A and B are shown apart, each in its own frame.
Chain A
């Protein structure tokens, strides 16, 4: 069942006994602290791994640290509004997906230059400051001159000013997890532009906002610091801090046999209903210009769908009857460029209109989609 790669690291693959799961494996190990490394770089698989550990592993007398990295992705907090937090059209162009995590907090950009750490404990042992000490002490053990310290907001600051780590957490029935990022060598040419919304001024929402901060990579202050070295140091310091004798175990989060139900957890995290539909109710109030005509657009979005849509359009540009039919088409639809384009195309096929009007509707649609 376990392939030993080295003294300290072992990889789990397959299961000798039919009913063995990762949970029973931990129980049998009898260790008070375990360090895990995810073998996946997929955000949804890794978030599902967090969910699975939180729900299925007995954390009353055992704590765990999970280390993971992802390919480029933007991750928003549980109660956030993606239209307010990031540049969705840019992300679509760059092929950067969006994920919503189950913990609170703000929006972050991940790529291979970012290390994620999740500290799993019982609710009683939940202590974010202590967890962050593991990180700062690990970094200082590697480079004693490094000026890194945790702030009141549970950020880690480099040189007292640059944010290199942000924190979020979730409290469940009996256990909790605290996870944080660490900027080692993230692509800083992309980060600022994807995390800046193109439509935040037109949105009115009660969603939890992010607190933007200037950031830096650890690589910027010390080019010899690489992610693997840092992860090893953190794993080591975790054991020191809590007095554990933790083995480091690599886990493949796609292994349904070892973690029954994990596949569905990953699927649930990828649904439109979770990623976009969980956005708290918000309204969009925007002026778009189409063919030199200024059109006022008002939409209420609930559960990621258009609950109400109104447009103020000069009567001589488009007759109000046509405008009303157009807005009714949008009512109840997903606040999504693709869905809107499909609906408007169907609208244009089913409603008779002159070529001139068709062009206007087409351009109006483009204008509406530009705020999505």
Chain B
């Protein structure tokens, strides 16, 4: 009960309970135990898994939502066009499934898993900038089935991904 109240309090204080990065590098004055609660609840509700190509997958039952990470969207620059596959397209892990065009270049997108595309984010047609503004939420790219759940275990969790991108700077 108290936990619920704390959560409600916190969600009013934070603008978005969604981006993992701000929760870790928290700059507000929340008490540590509330932070731990948030961290735990984000894991329970569909933790993010990352590829070394800077794509993320969030699992919800049998469907995975795919997008690109904050690191990737920053490196890309302003996205001006999202070239996404058709619904029903079968994808293999690491197969190229589309491209994002930004002021920097046309950048290929690689499937994190084996599966079939069930939905594409049509909001990106008129608003490709969502990929930059909300890469973990409204800027999602596709949803797909997960043919081989074991593949998820091969991907990095949030902590491992953070370590990975720090190692890239060196």
Give the interface of A toward B (CB within 8 A). Answer: 77-79, 102-105, 126, 168-173, 176, 178, 206-208, 280-281
Contact = CB atoms under 8 A, between A and B. Distances in A.
Contacts of A168: 105-106
Interface string B82-107: 01000000000000000101101111
B109 to A, nearest CB: 11
Is chain B's binding surface mostly helix, strand, loop or mixed? strand
B58 to A, nearest CB: 23
B80 interface: yes
Contacts of A208: 80-81, 101
B105 A79 contact: no
Nearest to A153: B103
Contact of A79 (B53, B101, B110, B126): B101
A127 B126 CA distance: 30
Contacts of A178: 105
A168 B107 CA distance: 11
A104 B108 contact: no
B121 interface: no
Contact of A78 (B53, B101, B110): B101
Given A79-B83, A173-B53, A206-B81, A104 B105 contact: yes
18 contacts: A78-B83, A78-B99, A79-B83, A79-B101, A102-B106, A103-B106, A104-B102, A104-B106, A105-B106, A169-B105, A171-B106, A172-B108, A173-B108, A176-B105, A178-B105, A207-B81, A208-B80, A281-B125
Given A78-B99, A78-B101, A79-B101, A171 B81 contact: no
Interface residues of B, number: 15
Contact of B81 (A79, A102, A176, A281): A79
A79 B125 contact: no
A77 B102 CA distance: 12
* Nearest 6 interchain pairs by C-beta: A169-B105, A104-B106, A104-B101, A171-B107, A79-B81, A171-B105
| Of listed A79, A105, A281, residue having the most chain B CB within 10 A | A79
Nearest to B107: A171
Contacts of A102: 106
Contacts of A78: 83, 99, 101, 106
B85 to A, nearest CB: 11
Contacts of A170: 105-108
B53, B99, B106, B126 — most chain A CB neighbours (10 Å): B106
Contacts of B101: 77-79, 104, 208
Nearest to B86: A303
A102 to B, nearest CB: 7
Contacts of B106: 77-79, 102-105, 168-171
B60 to A, nearest CB: 28
Interface string B123-140: 001100000000000000
Nearest to B168: A124
Contacts of A171: 104-108
Interface in B36-83: 53, 80-81, 83
B170 to A, nearest CB: 12
Interface string B107-118: 110100000000
A296 to B, nearest CB: 25
B81 A103 contact: no
